[in-house]
Structures are given as structure tokens and as C-alpha cells.
Structure 1
Amino acid sequence: MLTISEFGRRAGLSQKALRLYDVSGLLAPARVDPANGYRIYDEEQLERARRISVLRQLDMPLSTIADVLAGSDEQALILLDRWWAAEEATTAARRATLDYLRGRLNRTGLSGLSPRPVLTREVPATKIATIRAKTNQPMLVGVIVSGTDEIASYLRSAGATFTGGSWVIYHDAITLEAEGTVEICVPFEGLVDPAGPIAIRVEPAHHEAYCTITMDECSFPRIMLAYDLVFDWVRNQALEAGAPREVYQPNCQALPRDAPAVDIAQPFLVRRP
């Protein structure tokens, strides 16, 4: 058995951090001395403590660390890879945002959006697996990447067949200051039950207006210029619009940054004669 100071020294954690992890339920001491309140740790807890220390060095949130450490090592590896993919996607999006701002300051022409048409299409009723999540703008990319990967992993394990790319429906405005609800959707075929945060539903058939952008153009705030094109088209046609969405081609992250990869779309109601 180890005192909190000895345990912290061997685990690479401060006593302040250990008290925080105790309160949060992440790493409780083996026992607390009833006479003096001293925290006593078991040597077998060192491996968990060291894992927490390493994950905190990666700036992983405590809630995510709790999820990573809750299951087997195999499950932890899946969650770790999923979180890291989301972090890398967020970093790429921030880099593209920086390039946008530099383009504005340098007047290099990188900040705008080249002219492109707004097209329309009919979308058939589609069975989808979805996750709804609350997020703000800085966390948005990570939420989309991790949610899409979670759904895809579940569908693969259930033996489902993917029938296209994924999309994200924006049920609320997403801003720097306020969170809103997004719905991450993956179309599939097969018999799959809902599980945990993953729901199964049918996206109704609809018409939508859309324009296509590249992955470079998908970063904020350049992406808002594409939304402007679609919103303006729908408004000019005096059509009743539905919730906007981003429709991603399969494996769009692996496409060249300047290749068409994402459709900015908005459903609308067709006027009947």
C-alpha cells in the first residue's frame, strides 16, 4: 500500500490531480484512513494512474478518459483511435481556417469561393443510423468524425451494408458561443437494432438544392459562402426549406484537398400545380 505522495511520485501525478480524479470517480484510493482521512493506494492501481497521466498529456477530457478506461484494452484502443481521428480532423479544420484568414490578410484570393451552380435532385427515402449530439462550432468537426466512426463501426459489427456516404443535419444554429443539435446520419441496408446513442430511422424522400465544395472549402468560415449560395437559391425561388445538411462522399477525408467532396444541401417543398 502507498501513501498519496508516494503513489503520485511513482505515477507521475500531483496530489492535487489525484484528489481531482478521486472526486470525479476516475481513480479512487484503495481506502481512506478513517482516523485521519489519508488516502491510501494499492500498487496495482499504478498502471491505471499512469494511463490517466499519459492521456491527460494528450489533453483528453476526463469524461473521455473514463470511457477509454471503462472497458477492455481492445475497446480502449478503438475509443483512443476514434478520439485521435477527431482531434486530427479538428486540427486540419483549424489549419484551413487559418489559411482562410491569411488569404484575407494577404489578398491572395484563397479566401473566396469560385462561382459554381446550385443544382437540385430528388432524394429517395433512405434507412439510416443516426446519432444526435449537442456541440458548438469549435467542437463540431470532432463530434462529426467521432460520431460517424462510431455509427460505421456498429453497422459493420451488425453485418449491415453501407449504401453511400454520410451526412450531417443541422437542427439548430451552431456558433462559437452556443451549442446546437446536429444529427449524424449513415445510410445502410440490413437488419440493425438501435443501440445506446445510435437510433435507426427512415429519412423521408425529398427534393433538395445543393452545391458541391472541396475539403479545403469545407472549413469555417469558407463553408458559409457555399451555404449562402444554396440559401439564396431557395429563397429566390420562394420555396419552403427544411433543415440544412452537409452530405459527405465516402472516405472524403482521403480525397485530395482540392477534389469535390461535400455537398451543401437544403431540402425544399415542391410547389404543386
Structure 2
Amino acid sequence: MLTISEFGRRAGLSQKALRLYDVSGLLAPARVDPANGYRFYDEEQLERARRISVLRQLDMPLATIAAVLAGSDAEAVIRLDRWWAAEEATTAARRATLEYLRSRLTHTATGLTPRPVLVRDVPATKVATIRTDTDQQFLVGAIVSATNEIMSYLSSVGASLTGHSWVIYHSAVTPEAEGTVEICVPFDGLVDPAGSIAIRVEPAHREAYCTITMDECSFPRIMLAYDLVFDWARSSGTPEAGPPRELYLPDCHLLPRDEPAVDIALPILERNV
């Protein structure tokens, strides 16, 4: 058995951190002396402690660390890769936002080039979904993480993907406040709900949409595309029939930044006459 100071030295963790991990349930001591409250650790706990230390160096939240280390090493790799993909997506989105702001400040921004708003009919579609609350800063990471989780699950149960994934904005997502988003992945096959993943049918509907590039997806530039669709609906007297959404081409993040990649869509009713 190792004292907390010796264990912390060998694991690369401070006593303050070890107490925090004990309280959070992430790394409890092997034994606590009932007389004086001293914490003692087993040498076999060193590997877990070192993994926690490394993950904290990546700024991974404690709750995420607990999820990563909850299962086997193979499962940990999957969860780690999923989290890192979300982190990289968030960083890319922040970089695009920075570049947009710099272009506005240097008066080189071009806004959104003119493009048509089109209308299409969408059939009823079976989807696997995850609902989550997020603010603007973590939106892209949340979308990437949830999409990867759904796709991994569908693949593991033998379902086949059938088209674009999309995100429905059930409430406003802003830099100051969280909103509810629903990540949807269409599929074929018999699939049961699992954990945070729900299974439902997206009803058939008509929608108005415009298409943008990955460069145009950065916030706040993407809001110009939403304005385009909403303004079209209002000016044409077409009632809205549901929350707005973004539909992504498969592997859209791998496309050239100036090629069409995302549809900004709004469910609508028949146009008033």
C-alpha cells in the first residue's frame, strides 16, 4: 500500500487532484484509515491514475474520463477517438469563426453570394437520434461526437446507412445560452434504442432549402444562409411546419472548402394562395 503522497509522486498527480478524483468517484483510495482519515492506494491503481493524468493533460472533463475508462481498453480507444474527433471539429469551427471575424475587420468579407432557395418533398425516414443541449462553442464537437456514436452503434448491429445525416435545432443555440439539438442518422434494418440513442420515424414533409459550402458553415456566417431561407418563406407567404435543420453530405468535412456540402432547410406547409 502507498500513502497518498507516494502514490501521487509515482502517478504524477497532486494530493489535491487525488482528493478530487476520490470525491468524484474517478479514483477512490484502496483503503482509508478510519482513525485518522489517511488515504492509502494499491500499486495496481497506478496505471489508472497515470491514464487519468494523461487525459487531464488533454483537458478532458472528469465525466468524459470516467466514461473512457469505464470499459475495456478497446472500448476506451473508441471513446477516446470519438472525443478527440469532436475536439478537432470544435477547434476547426473556432478557427473558421476567427477567420470570418478577421475578414470582417479587414473589410475583405464577401458575406453570402446569391443563390436560390429550392423546395423538395422528403419521404418518411427511419432515423437513429441523439438529443443534447449545447452552446455555440461546443456545438460542432457535440454534433461530431453524437454522429460518430450513432454510426458506430448502427454498424455494430448490422444496420445500413441510407443517406445524409442532419441536425434539427429544437431551440436556439447561441454563444451565451444552450439550446436543444437532435442529431439524426437515417438507416435501414431492425434496430433497438440503446442508451442515449433513440429510434423514431421522421415524418414525411416538404422543405425549403439552400446549399452552402464548408467555408460558409462557420458561425456567424452560416446565419446568413438561415436568413435567406427564412426570408424566402416569409416573402412567399409559406408557413413554417417545423424547426430548421442542417443536412450534411457524407464525409462533408473531407470535401474542398469551397464545394457544396451542407443544406440549410426549413420544413414548410403548402404555400398560401
Fold shared by both chains (TM-score > 0.5): yes
| 2:5 aligned with 1:30 | no
Could you state the TM-score of these two structures normalised by the residue count of structure 1? Answer: 0.98
The correspondence of residues 13-92 of structure 1 with structure 2, limited to 5 A, is 13-92=13-92
In structure 2, the residue matched to 1:131 is: 130
> Distance between the aligned counterparts of 1:124 and 1:25, measured in 2?
47
The correspondence of residues 170-181 of structure 1 with structure 2, limited to 5 A, is 170-181=169-180
Question: CA shift at 1:229, angstroms?
Answer: 0.2
Backbone CA RMSD of aligned residues: 1.0
Question: CA shift at 1:172, angstroms?
Answer: 0.4
In structure 1, the residue matched to 2:185 is: 186
Identical amino acids, percent of aligned pairs: 79
* 4+ residue runs over 3 A deviation: none
Question: CA shift at 1:107, angstroms?
Answer: 1.2
The correspondence of residues 1-273 of structure 1 with structure 2, limited to 5 A, is 1-110=1-110, 112-241=111-240, 242-271=242-271
> Distance between the aligned counterparts of 1:267 and 1:146, measured in 2?
26
> Distance between the aligned counterparts of 2:243 and 2:202, measured in 1?
12
Question: CA shift at 1:96, angstroms?
Answer: 0.4
Could you state the TM-score of these two structures normalised by the residue count of structure 2? Answer: 0.98
Question: CA shift at 1:271, angstroms?
Answer: 4.2
Amino acid at match of 1:72: S
Amino acid at match of 1:254: L
> Distance between the aligned counterparts of 2:220 and 2:176, measured in 1?
15
Is the CA contact (8 Å cut-off) linking 2:33 and 2:39 kept in structure 1?
Answer: yes
- For the residue of structure 1 that corresponds to 2:127, the secondary structure is strand
Amino acid at match of 2:195: G
> Distance between the aligned counterparts of 1:233 and 1:271, measured in 2?
11
> Distance between the aligned counterparts of 1:147 and 1:47, measured in 2?
29
Post-superposition CA distance 1:48-69 (Å, at most 9, x none)? 0000000000000000000000
Q: How many residues align?
A: 272
Amino acid at match of 1:3: T
Extract unaligned runs of 5+ from structure 1.
Answer: none
> Distance between the aligned counterparts of 1:239 and 1:119, measured in 2?
13
Extract unaligned runs of 5+ from structure 2.
Answer: none
